[in-house]
Structure 1
């Protein structure tokens, strides 16, 4: 077993992963680094204080979040120049994965400073390994946009990917997101991984309609941190699975008809001209008054 009271790390910025729920998921190396660095950069010092207190770690903490990250770069370089070792942690999981840190890491790398990863838990990989969806090829697209239009465009692009897609979604918007997926790809297999490594960890599998019923019937399933996973499909099956008219109509809300047809052709394959004619034909249909 590693000596958790080993000498302090050499001067560098250590990117330290922390638990996403179950505190026992922290690694021995993470504890060693956190106990021996000169200071800890934390996304939310109040939140991280609970983690450090649990493990009896008493090191100075400095906030580093999306609103002050750029301003911290020069000070971090000064600390490193003075021979200090620093650890970067986020509220939970691996820093930089939809969390602050990229601006700092890029700047330090460009200036030749040492940046050392201390790997551990990530909600993305935790969800993928237990969801029962293909894991040989996948993409992570971060948090879905909060506004309806951009969110639907992102989901439309994700449905064209042939591997598994993972994203984060707010519990209060998950129902709306499932409604979009039910319209665009009603047969696509999905998984919602909720409250990972915590007491109420849950994996919900099914189509969008099936998951909508689960969430509406049990509002407890609309709470907590969520990872949404979309099964990928072979390119040749996309056009039959996706409601082409719904896709064309969605794209046409945000761009001219010809461009909408072109975007749909890239996503689904087939003729841009045929899709353009299909879009115009749908628009020519008399609307009820």
Structure 2
């Protein structure tokens, strides 16, 4: 067990600094001062961060830190911390580590005995959620669904039983396909498409999954999808209304492989997989 008192002799430390998701006015004074005060800034894309630093007159040296050089750059972060120098990590927009690089650096710094200090700030998922009009007290953030349709089906099938509000990120060119699969697998639920948050063209599209499908052609920008959770547990409906064999067939129709369908039925019913195989072979 380890305890961290972030502001009691925490130097040197790794600071995870959030950056605006579209509006530079959302950059906090604390974030600016932190970036000015550290010895080095590691940025997901130095070209993007250069614009931010220039706007706020931040002259701290900067290096790249992204998915393709993460291991090498983490070693450099640890070297700097070992030499007594604090560093900051930023992504292009939002909080480092949320669908962006950051976790590995935090883990390595903690394992090496250094403090990791996250500053609060902009986040597209939470911003979209609180403005969605859907329940916010419990939600499940999934990030990006798979770009492969077969895998995306499996992910949505698993998520279809969640009663919590679901939150996804999605690329514009996959939006229509993804909402179509949500409609097919999760049903005609309330859904909100939030795009270009905090920017001039910020837009929310609210409605049932089926009715907004026709509105998605040509939608551009950074996109968040918010989906209302299941009104009542579909699992309980399956248990009450279907035999084990029908339960199994239900999952096959949703795109799961026979083995995955058996696992899903066994989990739903709280029995061993062998019990399910007796009914489906």
Report the TM-score, using the length of structure 1 for normalisation.
Answer: 0.82
Q: How does 1:246-285 map to 2 (within 5 A)?
A: 247-252=251-256, 254-256=257-259, 259-264=260-265, 266=267
Query: Structure 1 unaligned runs (5+)?
Result: 1-8, 281-289
CA contact (8 A) 1:40 1:88 kept: yes
CA distance in 2, matches of 1:127, 1:234: 21
Q: How does 1:1-289 map to 2 (within 5 A)?
A: 10-216=11-217, 219=218, 222-237=219-234, 247-252=251-256, 254-256=257-259, 259-264=260-265, 266=267
Aligned residues: 263
CA contact (8 A) 2:252 2:258 kept: no
Q: Deviations over 1:12-45 (max 9, x none)?
A: 1110001000110111100111112111000010
Q: Secondary structure at the match of 1:165?
A: strand
CA contact (8 A) 2:161 2:233 kept: no
Query: Structure 2 unaligned runs (5+)?
Result: 1-9, 239-246
CA distance in 2, matches of 1:202, 1:77: 41
Q: Deviations over 1:223-259 (max 9, x none)?
A: 0000111111244356769xx876431334x334xx5
CA distance in 1, matches of 2:166, 2:173: 20
Task: Identify which range, 151-160 or 40-49, moves more after superposition.
Answer: 151-160
Distance 1:74 1:277, change over 3 A: closer
CA distance in 1, matches of 2:26, 2:269: 42
